[in-house]
Amino acid sequence: MKQLLSFPRLVLCFAALLSFGAQAADPVKLRVGVEGAYPPFSQVGADGKIKGFDIDIANALCAEIKAQCTLVQLDFDGMIPALQSKKIDLIVASMSITPERSKVIAFTDKYYNSTARLISKSGLKIDGSPESFKGKKIGVQRGTIHDRFVTDKFKSATLARYAKQDDVFLDLVAGRIDATLVDGIAGDIGFLKTPAGKGYAFTGPEYDDVSYFGTGVGIGLRKGDTGLRDQLNGAIKSIRTNGIYKKLQDQYFDFDLYGK
DSSP letters spanning 192-203:
ITSGGGTTEEEE
Mean of per-residue pLDDT scores for the chain: 91
Residue 28, sorted as left (phi over 0), alpha (psi -120 to 50) or beta, turns out to be beta
Q: Where exactly are the structural domains of the chain?
A: 18-113+216-249, 116-213
Q: What is the pLDDT of residues 235-246, one digit of tens each?
A: 999 999 999 999
b/e burial code for range 103-121 (CB count within 10 A of at least 16 → b): eebbbbbbbbbbebbbbbe
> Residue 115 — φ and ψ, nearest 5°?
-110, 165
Is 70 exceeded by the pLDDT of residue 15? no
pLDDT value at position 235? Answer: 98
Is 90 exceeded by the pLDDT of residue 1? no
Give the C-alpha separation, 248 to 60, whole Å. Answer: 9
Q: Can you count the helices (H) and strands (E) in the chain? A: 9, 13
What fold characterizes domain 18-113+216-249? D-Maltodextrin-Binding Protein; domain 2 (3.40.190)
User: Do residues 53 and 41 make contact, with C-beta atoms less than 8 angstroms apart?
Assistant: yes
* Pairing of β 28-34 and β 67-73: parallel
The CATH class for the domain spanning 116-213 reads alpha beta
Give the C-alpha separation, 109 to 216, whole Å. Answer: 8
Across the range 20-36, mean pLDDT stands at 78
User: Do residues 63 and 102 make contact, with C-beta atoms less than 8 angstroms apart?
Assistant: no
Q: What is the pLDDT of residues 197-250, one digit of tens each?
A: 999 999 999 999 999 999 999 999 999 999 999 999 999 999 999 999 999 999
pLDDT value at position 20? Answer: 45
pLDDT value at position 203? Answer: 93
pLDDT value at position 4? Answer: 44
User: Do residues 61 and 235 make contact, with C-beta atoms less than 8 angstroms apart?
Assistant: yes
User: Do residues 204 and 127 make contact, with C-beta atoms less than 8 angstroms apart?
Assistant: yes
pLDDT value at position 25? Answer: 60
Same fold, 18-113+216-249 and 116-213: yes
pLDDT value at position 7? Answer: 43
Q: What is the pLDDT of residues 114-161, one digit of tens each?
A: 999 999 999 888 887 888 888 899 999 999 999 999 999 999 999 999
User: Do residues 32 and 69 make contact, with C-beta atoms less than 8 angstroms apart?
Assistant: yes
pLDDT value at position 3? Answer: 47
Q: What is the pLDDT of residues 59-107, one digit of tens each?
A: 999 999 999 999 999 999 999 999 999 999 999 999 999 999 999 999 9
pLDDT value at position 57? Answer: 98
In the 8-state DSSP scheme, what is residue 76?
Answer: G
Across the range 5-31, mean pLDDT stands at 57
181, HSE (Cβ side, Cα atoms, 13 Å): 36
